Amino acid sequence: MVLNNKLTYSHPRKYGPGSRKCRVCSSHHGVIRKYNLHMCRRCFREYAADIGFKKNVIVLFEMMAVQHFFHGMDISELPPELSCPTLQLIVLLGLDVRNNLAHKNIWEALMMNRRPDRPPLNFQLVSGDSHDLTTMRTKEPSQEAAVKGILKIDWMAKHLHRVPAVLVLFVDLDWNSPFWNEKLSECASKIQSIRHSFYGRNPYLALVLVQSFVTLPTDELATQKAAELCSSCELSSKLLFILPQSEHLFGYVVRLEFAFYDLAQNYYQNELKLLKSKKEALSRTVSQRLYVRYSFKQGFFSELRQDAHSALKYYKQAYQMLLEIEPVDAAVTELKVIGGYLTYKICRLYFKHIASSESMSHFQKHIEYFRNKTSKLEAEFEHSAWLSKQYSFFAELFDAAVQSGLTTSSAEHPGFYYQTAADYMIRRQREFELSSKDGEDETRKAEEAEEQISTATTTVVGYCGQRMGWSLSSAIDSEGRFDHSSVAVGLLCNAMAHFKNYPRSVRSRHCLLVRLGMQYVRQGRLEQALQAFLQALGPLRRARWTSLVSACLAPALRCAHALARPKEYVALVLELLNVEYGVREPARRVQLQRNLLALSSGAVPEPDEGADRAESDAALMAWQRLLLDSTTTFVPVAAGDINAGLTVTGGFCSPEGMAVVAAPTTFQLRLKSDLPEPLQLTKVSVQFVAGNDPAQSWTLDTPVEQRPLLQPNTTHLFEFYICPRPEHAGGEIHATSITLHIGQSTSKVYITLMWDVQSVLSVGFCVSNLGRKAAKLPVELPKRIKVLPKPPKLAVVCDDGFAVLIGEKYLYRVTVENLENAPISKLKLKVFESANSRCQHGIKFGYNIEQCDGAALSLELDSLMPNCKATSVFYITMEKTVDNVSMHMQVDPCLLSVITYEVTLNVENMDMSCNCTLDRTVSFSSIMPFVVESYMCTTMGQRVNELVVKEDVLLWMHVRGVSVPTLICSCTLHLCDKVHMNNPIDYQTFDNAVIDSDTSLSEICSVRPVGATTEPVSIAHATFCWKRWNETSSSEMISTSFSLCNVNIVSCPVIVSCVVPSFGVMYRPFVVKYTIENTTEKTVQLEATFESSERFMFSGMKKDLLKLTRLSKLEIILNVLPLIDGFSTLPRLQLLSSSEAVTSSLKQYSQRNVPLTILITPKDSTVSSSQDSKIALQDAESYFSVQMVCAYGCFVNATVSFQPKKTSH
């Protein structure tokens, strides 16, 4: 049986030339001429698979299976062809992979290692029963106008799996084959049969010759044979390919693939052109469905061509036209289904183009349009199923885009769409349950009868979304076989996986946990349900989401009871008994508390009234197995983590939050019960800890005989007494946990309710119902207290605010008196510098004057009886080296003294040894004994910062006292090796001198530099021997050195000195003598010039060239006649050298000791005769005194000698 039913019985009816001969085997018997086969029956059966025939019964079975699938399919489901990869179909003919090794190698090279860089092709190897090669159905002209639907159910599957773009026939044929003519005829026959089989369609038919050797392009035989083959087969030369069997087979196969890909691209392009011509001939207002159909097909073919942009354009056109179709009741389902297909394609392409915002926008518009559109041909749960599937496939597309690198945020990610899909799935389940209850009446029977009639008279539906034989009963029967909970669980798990990636989505994740637990309960997976509820309850309590907490408690209690979990059962019962959002029915509340008490006594708690019988029996057996165990089951419940029906408040009776060692303090605890009946407790325990060390913890219990009984709505007070020990000093004591014990330790179940109050940070603590105000204590009590050491009872007498001079050893005295009621021992005094001290010199301490060099001092005193005293003496010193006499520094250090002792006290009939510490800070000032200032000046009284070799200068030293009187015994001046003193002095000014803040001493000396330096040096060091001028200081002398005048010493080639009288008289001449000294070892040539002045007339040299040999002197004498009285400028001597450096040095340094002005008195002023006679002497050697005024009003007398020039009269 082949494609045509009449083909089996066909035989040649017309005889003529060549009509009775099989073109394969040349046989004359049973020649089949239909479809232009011209083959005998035996050859046809052998080659039917190669030319594209297969049995008709298989084709019919596949068509019926597809139609039945789409007819019974849920409208929410997407066909697999919609989401599978769009690959171009290439059908391979003539490959015998089972019997031919060469064919097998070709097939493996085509199918294996399909990397992304290879063309997207779908190769199908066709045999006699593996492919449908049906011809295209011929349409009447009126069929397009009378369109019955938008898209056929098998159209996508047909073009993906049954209608190829390229047909490839493989033939084993070499150019030099001895059977060339027979093979040529066979090849032409096969190609003609394949063309006839695909009549009406236009796939490309390619011929591949499998040859055993490689043929060169220049082979004339191959060119001739190829042309002959193409002519006989009516085949273009571009469709003929050669595949040699060589070691480079894979490379040839890859090249074949790209050739096939180009052919397939052309095929689908031709299909697009055909569809375009058909769509252009349509009217959009009349043929809306056809317009949608053709646009969808254009998008699908564009996808097959891997043209995603064009595909998106065509799909959007189809969707836009779909929205323009009027949604009548009979067409709503079809529009929804096709709209879902188009939305899936559009969103997937948008995500592929990294346009997530456009994809989300399109999906939201799609949902808003179809959200409320239903028809009579679908049930409510089917519409919810469709909405759930829409959100589900969009979430899957979104998730795939995220895995490909798309960036999301906490406000927009696939978890939201998975969550909405799960919501609609749960709604679908609920609507199905309601429909099942409503369909159990006689109406359902009538619908079943109507369904049988309609099924018998209705044809198979051929278009997507159309439901001709639908009935509610059949939909309910089909829906009953669907597992809603499993799908909802999967969607919720996917949503949670995305919400976990965003910390800000905690509330949403907890809400999903609750829904997940509900679905687990529906599935009967109680273990997973209880775990989900417990995981969600904690955060929901802290977030005060009471509605969800209340919704979780009942199903969670059911799971805990069914699984025989005593710990979870007790916690959930206590939370259900709270008055805020727990159970409100009095009978139910009493039952829950009695179940709790029954469990504490070893009995099995009763199940809920609405519980399933089978579930209750299984729970009873589980509880019995648990309680029959010989060991006691301890049930510790963290009551602080749940919202129990008990309120616990407490704190220390110390409003300041402090306690003292060896002083008892009280901890108050208040319990209030909201339970419906009294609750008998075994005991109440409170655990305390000192600091954060668990080793220093202890527990206080109520007396065993007390056995507290908590009455409903009554506050009970408990007090616990603690006494801090010495090892607790400096730390904190706080309550870590409060425990209520229910039941006896000998019973089967022993319940403990524990509140962990360590993490409570507010003043006082309250572990009570969520959102409720705790019972306030009369005074707010702190939950933790700071333990202070025992305060010392000592009286310390010592000086404060004194002054210590730098370098001295100051005597200090401390007196301690015992004010305790008991003797003290191990009394120690430690002295050291305070960490807050601003002193930078460092303080040294010592027991005596000889050893005063310690940074700290520790003195051990004798034990003291009550009201007894002890005195300790030590020395304080501070050392500081002063580098500059102009420095003045004042520091205020702090002295910290620590006194420790041990005393033994009797507290609550127990001896407690306490160590007490008394800190005392003493402030004092540290100052210098006196301040030394110094500077250098020329003989003319001008301050200088640089000295010149062989130039006389004056060293000035000034000593200024401070607030503390100081006795300076002596002073010694030590000059450096670069300076010599002109006239030694004994410094009697500083001998046994007492200075204070109102006293200062000064001294001056004349020095002469003898050598130059490259950097500043200290000219001299002054060493003072001094001590404090009072009886509190030590008797030894203190030696302190000060460095004086850090200056540079430079050299100048020539030094000029000048001798002038102290004053002159107008119109009376006087003599000015200049001495020019060469200080170098070389001869110096200078040009000397005297500047003229309007105030004087002078005789002598005015301009001359001078030549000074090594270390020589030259004197120049001027006779000067004053013309104007007053202070007048003397004639200025200018020295120039040929070297600019020497000239600059001469201008800067050579004449610093030359006077610039002189006082000229009027002629008639009174002058002593002796002085007048000295000035008049010009022919003999004379002496006169030049009086120089120095800084601070001090006078220095210097004697200057000169030799006047002899003149003749």
Classify residue 51 by burial, with Cβ atoms within 10 Å: 0-12, 13-18, 19+.
buried
Q: Of the ranges 208-217, 555-564, 980-989, 1154-1163, which one carries the lowest mean pLDDT score?
A: 980-989
pLDDT at 1078 over 80: yes
pLDDT at 321 over 90: yes
How far is the C-alpha of 505 from the C-alpha of 413, rounded, in Å? 11
Going across the sheet that includes 1157-1161, the strands are: 1063-1065, 1157-1161, 1126-1129
pLDDT at 455 over 80: no
How far is the C-alpha of 456 from the C-alpha of 840, rounded, in Å? 112
pLDDT more than 70, % of the chain: 81
Interval 1008-1026: pLDDT, tens = 888 888 888 888 888 889 8
Q: What is the average pLDDT value for the chain, to the nearest integer?
A: 80
What is the number of residues in the chain? 1209
Residue 1181, pLDDT score: 34
Nearest CA-CA partner of 165 in 12, 17, 272: 272
* 1070 vs 470 pLDDT, higher one: 1070
Task: List, in sequence order, every residue forming a beta bridge with 896; answer none if it has no partner.
Answer: 832, 921
Interval 611-651: pLDDT, tens = 788 888 899 999 988 888 767 788 899 888 888 888 888 88
Buried-state track 808-820, b at ≥16 Cβ within 10 A, e below 16: bbbebebebebeb
Tokens of 556: 């969670």
- Report yes or no: 753 and 742 within 8 Å, Cβ to Cβ: yes
pLDDT at 1007 over 80: yes
Q: Domains of the chain by range and CATH?
A: 82-136+145-281 (3.40.50), 285-376 (1.25.40), 378-439+466-501 (no CATH), 526-630 (no CATH), 640-788 (2.60.40.10), 794-927 (2.60.40.10), 930-1050 (2.60.40.2260), 1054-1201 (2.60.40.10)
* Residue 112 DSSP one-character state: S
How far is the C-alpha of 900 from the C-alpha of 919, rounded, in Å? 9
Residue 10, pLDDT score: 38
Tokens of 708: 């507290």
Classify residue 373 by burial, with Cβ atoms within 10 Å: 0-12, 13-18, 19+.
middle
Write the CB contacts of 1038 (distance below 8 Å, at least 6 apart in sequence).
807, 808, 929, 1025, 1026, 1027
Count of helix runs (H) and strand runs (E) in the chain:
26, 53
How far is the C-alpha of 480 from the C-alpha of 837, rounded, in Å? 88
Write the CB contacts of 107 (distance below 8 Å, at least 6 apart in sequence).
92, 95, 97, 125
Residue 908, pLDDT score: 60
Interval 922-944: pLDDT, tens = 777 778 888 888 888 988 888 88
Tokens of 225: 């044979």
How far is the C-alpha of 326 from the C-alpha of 324, rounded, in Å? 6
Interval 694-731: pLDDT, tens = 888 889 888 877 888 999 988 899 999 888 888 888 88
Residue 564, pLDDT score: 92
Distance of alpha carbon 831 from the chain centroid: 49
Residue 556, pLDDT score: 94
Buried-state track 568-604, b at ≥16 Cβ within 10 A, e below 16: bbbbbbbbbbbebbbbeeeebbebbbebbbebbebeb
Q: Where are the beta strands (DSSP E) in 1029-1129?
A: 1038-1050, 1054-1059, 1063-1065, 1070-1078, 1084-1090, 1096-1099, 1103-1108, 1113-1122, 1126-1129
Classify residue 1021 by burial, with Cβ atoms within 10 Å: 0-12, 13-18, 19+.
middle
Residue 53, pLDDT score: 64
Interval 494-523: pLDDT, tens = 999 999 988 888 888 889 999 999 999 998
Amino acid of residue 646:
L
How far is the C-alpha of 246 from the C-alpha of 502, rounded, in Å? 58
Helix (H, G, I), strand (E, B) or coil at 906: strand
Residue 889, pLDDT score: 25
How far is the C-alpha of 716 from the C-alpha of 92, rounded, in Å? 91
CA-to-CA separations, 1114 to 870, 1059, 1076, 1081, 1107, in angstroms, rounded: 83, 14, 5, 16, 9
What is the band of 430 on the pLDDT scale with cuts at 50, 70, 90? confident
pLDDT at 335 over 50: yes
Q: Angle of helix 180-197 relative to helix 220-233, nearest 10 degrees?
A: 40
How far is the C-alpha of 989 from the C-alpha of 1003, rounded, in Å? 7
Residue 744, pLDDT score: 77
How far is the C-alpha of 152 from the C-alpha of 1179, rounded, in Å? 150
Interval 3-55: pLDDT, tens = 333 333 334 444 334 446 776 777 766 777 766 677 787 777 766 766 656 55
Classify residue 1171 by burial, with Cβ atoms within 10 Å: 0-12, 13-18, 19+.
middle
Amino acid of residue 1064:
G
How far is the C-alpha of 819 from the C-alpha of 918, rounded, in Å? 13
Tokens of 1140: 């600019």
How far is the C-alpha of 322 from the C-alpha of 629, rounded, in Å? 70
Beta strands at 809-818 and 794-798: parallel, antiparallel or unpaired: antiparallel
Residue 1, pLDDT score: 34
Reported for 1167-1171, long-range contacts at CB under 8 A and 24+ positions apart, including other chains, are: 1167/1065
What is the band of 909 on the pLDDT scale with cuts at 50, 70, 90? low
What is the band of 336 on the pLDDT scale with cuts at 50, 70, 90? very high
What is the band of 758 on the pLDDT scale with cuts at 50, 70, 90? low
What is the band of 860 on the pLDDT scale with cuts at 50, 70, 90? confident
pTM to 2 decimal places: 0.63
Classify residue 729 by burial, with Cβ atoms within 10 Å: 0-12, 13-18, 19+.
buried
Residue 74, pLDDT score: 66
Beta strands at 204-211 and 166-172: parallel, antiparallel or unpaired: parallel
Helix (H, G, I), strand (E, B) or coil at 43: helix
- Report yes or no: 1181 and 1073 within 8 Å, Cβ to Cβ: no
- Report yes or no: 197 and 163 within 8 Å, Cβ to Cβ: no
How far is the C-alpha of 732 from the C-alpha of 997, rounded, in Å? 54
Interval 376-428: pLDDT, tens = 888 888 899 999 999 999 999 999 999 999 998 888 999 999 999 999 999 98
Q: Would you list the DSSP string of 270-284?
A: HHHHHHHHHHHTS-T
* 1203 vs 566 pLDDT, higher one: 566
Amino acid of residue 120:
P
